[in-house]
């Protein structure tokens, strides 16, 4: 019987034929957790866990609140550091490393065809490398620590065919927001989302990571694309060479198929307080901006900062807009040091921060005051997400965020010529 990408990976993992809708016990190749490992350790112990089933499977990256914002976070980090020693978990990345979803592929843990489960909803990002990657709960990660397995329902697949060339200053973030605006925050509920089409075949690693990252905001279980040449080149030297590329059979069953032509796409923005509240940038209205955030697991790669610099040109950032720049990882940070990206952004008025999640989840490093507006390259704009329920978050591309930082109002990047 013809199979989808996800059905093939599930079948291979469990050793028998699996079709969409079936529930099976899957053994992940990689189990990812972050600062929440502290809570997971407690559940692991409650489950009667003594020694982790397979320490080599686990990758732990401290990224959510780094360096620790207060003594409570510091104590959590300390607990995790001591525990990984006890458990012989070698794949541990401390607070200087960056965001788990950037570190994991950079360090070669994500391979095409593999199964990645993480106790973070944006684990879907790793589908950009042709892996099955899904978010799970904390207790579920503890279950993997004890038993090595977790129950998963094999999802049905919807396919999104993307064609055309992006116009100037329009990018993958705009496309992802437009898709979410069209299909809604539950438009991909329980499903696997396969991205295909000529535009996807040409996309950069970063573009594919943006699309897969944001499938979490469509309610999807996983998102993926078949690795193109850019992905295979990027993986070279990071993972061993025996790449196992998995593809859906041409006659596999898809529950829905959609087409998007990016050639006529305009910059998009998600207005408060829902990711599917999407419009063109000018339609968001005349909105004064107090803070601009460039970074996160969605848009924290060097190419994102280069796109922002291109929009900036020789201008300065508006002095009323606190512009915070968070490279997604130490590797990205060092790239930006070498090519002077940070120097240029700093001279324009931005603050260069450390690699990590920053204020995206409202823990520290840029929490908003009552009534303030932030335009951000992140992936969630729920009420209170950045630490204050009386503030307002708009989500856009790096180009739109920089244009707004320059003018002090939410601005279509094509206006700054």
Q: Which stretch binds another protein (CB under 8 A): 239-247, 289-297, 380-388, 405-413?
A: 380-388
Which is nearest to 5 in space by CA: 152, 155, 105? 155
What is the distance between the alpha carbons of residues 105 and 114, in angstroms, rounded to a whole number? Answer: 12
228 burial level (CB within 10 Å; 0-12, 13-18, 19+): middle
The reply on whether position 331 binds another protein by CB under 8 A is no
Count how many residues are written for the chain: 417
Candidate ranges 138-146, 164-172, 195-203, 400-408; the one touching another protein (CB under 8 A): 138-146
x/- string (CB under 8 A) for another protein, residues 185-224? xx--xx----------------------------xxx---
Residue 412 CA to residue 402 CA, distance in Å, equals 10
DSSP structure class, residue 164: S
Q: Which is nearer to another protein, 137 or 164 (CB)?
A: 137
SS3 content of the chain, % helix, strand, coil (to 5): 40, 20, 45
Minimum Å gap between C-beta 161 and another protein is 24
Judged by CB under 8 A, does residue 146 bind another protein? yes
Cα dist from 242 to 9, 112, 236, 309, 401, whole Å: 16, 10, 10, 38, 40
Stretch in the footprint of another protein (CB under 8 A) among 5-13, 139-147, 170-178, 405-413: 139-147
Query: What's the closest the beta carbon of residue 47 comes to another protein, in angstroms?
Result: 4
User: Which residue among 11, 19, 121, 354 contacts another protein (CB under 8 A)?
Assistant: 121
304 touches 294 (CB < 8 A): yes
Asked whether position 256 contacts another protein by CB under 8 A, the answer is: no
Residue 175 binds another protein, judged by CB under 8 A: no
Q: How near is the Cβ of 121 to another protein at its closest, in Å? A: 5
Name which of 190 and 254 has its Cβ closer to another protein.
190
Q: Is 270 in the site for another protein (CB under 8 A)?
A: no
- Residue 26 or 302: the one with the smaller Cβ distance to another protein is 26
**394: which DSSP letter?**
E
Start-to-end Cα distance in the chain: 54
The SS3 call for residue 351 is strand
> Can residue 57 be called a binding residue for another protein (CB under 8 A)?
no
Q: For residues 357 and 402, which CB has a smaller minimum distance to another protein in the complex?
A: 357
The one segment of 101-109, 140-148, 194-202, 234-242 that binds another protein by CB under 8 A: 140-148
Q: Binding another protein by CB under 8 A: which of 35, 140, 372, 412?
A: 140
Instruction: Extract long-range pairs of 50-54: CB within 8 Å, 24+ residues apart.
Output: 51/87, 52/87, 52/89, 52/145, 52/146, 53/144, 53/145, 53/146, 53/147, 53/148, 54/148
Whole-number Å distance between alpha carbons of 158 and 163 = 16
Nearest CB to another protein, comparing residues 48 and 319: 48
Which listed range, 135-143, 233-241, 308-316, 345-353, lies at the site for another protein (CB under 8 A)? 135-143
- Binding piece for another protein, criterion CB under 8 A, among 21-29, 232-240, 296-304, 365-373: 21-29
Our finding on whether 75 is near another protein (CB under 8 A) is no
Tell which residue, 143, 91, 136, has the closest CA to residue 117.
136
| β-pairing verdict for 150-153 and 23-26 | antiparallel
Contact yes or no for 21/156 (Cβ under 8 A): yes
Q: Which of 2, 16, 17, 23 binds another protein (CB under 8 A)?
A: 23
Choose which of 139, 161, 204, 279 interacts with another protein (CB under 8 A): 139
Closest Cα to residue 11, out of 171, 300, 206, 249? 249
Segment interacting with another protein (CB under 8 A) among 79-87, 88-96, 134-142, 347-355: 134-142
Contacts to another protein by CB under 8 A: 22-25, 43, 46-49, 119, 121, 135-140, 142-143, 146-147, 151, 185-186, 189-190, 219-221, 382-384
């Amino acid at each position: 019987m013809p199979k989808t990408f996800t059905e093939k990976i599930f079948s291979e993992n469990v050793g028998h034929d699996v079709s969409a809708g079936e529930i099976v016990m899957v053994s992940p190749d990689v189990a990812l957790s972050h600062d929440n490992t502290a809570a997971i350790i407690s559940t692991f112990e409650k489950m009667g866990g003594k020694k982790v089933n397979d320490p080599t499977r686990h990758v732990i990256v401290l990224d959510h609140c780094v360096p620790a914002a207060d003594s409570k976070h510091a104590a959590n980090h300390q607990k995790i550091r001591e525990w990984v020693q006890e458990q012989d978990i070698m794949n541990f990345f401390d607070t200087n490393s960056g965001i788990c979803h950037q570190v994991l592929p950079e360090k070669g843990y994500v391979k095409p065809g593999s199964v990645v489960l993480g106790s973070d909803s944006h684990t879907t990002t790793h589908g950009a490398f042709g892996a099955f990657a899904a978010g799970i709960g904390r207790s579920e990660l503890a279950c993997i620590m004890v038993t090595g397995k977790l129950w998963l329902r094999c999802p049905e697949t919807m396919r999104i065919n993307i064609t055309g060339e992006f116009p100037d200053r329009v990018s993958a973030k705009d496309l992802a927001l437009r898709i979410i605006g069209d299909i809604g925050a539950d438009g991909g509920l329980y499903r696997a989302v396969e991205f295909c089409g000529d535009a996807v075949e040409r996309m950069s690693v970063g573009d594919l990571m943006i699309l897969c990252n944001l499938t979490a905001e469509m309610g999807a279980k996983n998102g993926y694309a078949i690795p193109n040449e850019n992905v295979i080149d990027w993986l070279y030297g990071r993972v061993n060479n025996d790449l196992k590329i998995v593809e859906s059979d041409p006659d596999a069953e898809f529950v829905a198929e959609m087409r998007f032509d990016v050639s006529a796409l305009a910059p998009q923005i998600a207005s408060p307080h829902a990711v599917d509240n999407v419009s063109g940038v000018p339609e968001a209205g005349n909105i004064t901006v107090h803070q601009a955030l460039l970074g996160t697991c969605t848009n924290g790669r060097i190419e994102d900062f280069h796109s922002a610099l291109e929009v900036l040109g020789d201008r300065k950032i508006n002095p009323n807009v606190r512009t915070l720049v968070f490279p997604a990882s130490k590797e990205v940070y060092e790239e930006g040091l070498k090519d002077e990206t940070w120097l240029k952004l700093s001279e324009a008025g931005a603050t260069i921060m450390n690699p990590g999640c920053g204020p995206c989840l409202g823990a520290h490093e840029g929490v908003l005051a009552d009534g303030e507006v932030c335009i951000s390259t992140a992936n969630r704009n729920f009420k209170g997400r950045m630490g204050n329920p009386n503030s307002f978050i708009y989500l856009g591309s790096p180009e739109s965020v920089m244009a707004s930082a320059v003018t002090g109002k939410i601005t279509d990047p094509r206006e700054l010529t």
